[in-house]
Amino acid sequence: MHYDIPTEGRIPLLDITIPIHWDNHAILMFAIWFVLVPVAVILLRFGKIRPTPYGIPRGTPKWAWPEFPWSFHKYALYTAITLALAGAGFAMMLSGGFSGTLHAWFGLATILLGLGQAISAWFRGSHGGRKAPASDPEDRTTWGGDHFDMAPQRWWFEAYHKTSGYFALFSAGGAVATGLSQFWMPGIAIAFGGTVLAGLVASILLQGRGHNHDTYSSVYGYHPENPFNRRRYREMIKAQDMKP
């Protein structure tokens, strides 16, 4: 379907008409979804510390290593969805609403999946563990928390958050590709291919060098008395017993 891209749009509140610079929209959205978001994802995926018996040391500041990857991931994604909502909303206002093009549908899917990421974080549950401020490091009975105990709430949060995040990046890729088919920008096209290739190579190298540590073991440690470690050990033994 042919779609004529408007070159100017009206701002209702100010009752003025301004020229539309779609290259600014493209640069903003590309920077959000293929610079900021991938950095936040890769940093958390491969920036976790190597597991120790009790995980991240108690009292580590949120913006100091090894807490930094989690803090950056959280606030970078909140920033990303805020900017993406603003960029999409402004584009729709100036172009007269939802265009119904393939680019618009991919963009809408990306925004909704990104918004779901932000909302789902509110339901991740409490942390707990030996490092929690309210815990007594010498009293294991005070270490309870949704993440430390890997309660169903936390389990399903991770299942949704991780899976939906990859779908959001896939949708963002579709939005970039279809956007370029409507409004060709060689610089964005080259940068798109370059960032995808760079992300692939970096992920392979970091995975191959053993930097993808298990989240639970990295945060809380591999101590056998940790609840999720006990559960995984029982499941491993059960699976071995079921072998013929």
Per residue in 128-137, pLDDT (tens digit) is 999 999 999 9
> For the chain, which residues make up each domain, given as ranges?
8-241
Peptide bond into 66 cis (omega under 30): yes
Q: What pLDDT shows up at residue 55?
A: 96
Report the distance separating Cα 109 and Cα 104, nearest Å. 9
Given a contact cutoff of 8 angstroms between Cβ atoms, the answer to whether 155 and 148 are in contact is no
In this predicted structure, the answer to whether residue 157 has a pLDDT above a threshold of 90 is yes
Given a contact cutoff of 8 angstroms between Cβ atoms, the answer to whether 104 and 98 are in contact is yes
Give Rg (Cα) of the chain. Answer: 22
Is pTM beyond 0.75? Reply is yes
Q: What pLDDT shows up at residue 2?
A: 45
Q: Tokens 């939005």 sit at which residue? A: 175
What residues contact 243, with CB distance under 8 A and at least 6 apart?
none
Position 6 confidence tier, pLDDT thresholds 50, 70, 90: confident
Phi, psi of 156 (to 5 degrees): -75, -30
Residues 26-51 as b/e (b if ≥16 CB within 10 A, e otherwise) read: bbbbbebbbebbbebbbbbbbbbbeb
Per residue in 95-124, pLDDT (tens digit) is 888 989 999 999 999 999 999 999 999 999
Given a contact cutoff of 8 angstroms between Cβ atoms, the answer to whether 21 and 95 are in contact is no
Q: Could you tell me the two tokens for 66? A: 């090894």
What fold does the segment set 8-241 form as a domain? Four Helix Bundle (Hemerythrin (Met), subunit A) (1.20.120)
Phi, psi of 17 (to 5 degrees): -110, 130
Q: Tokens 């006990």 sit at which residue? A: 230
- Three-state DSSP at 153 gives helix
Q: Tokens 């206002």 sit at which residue? A: 93
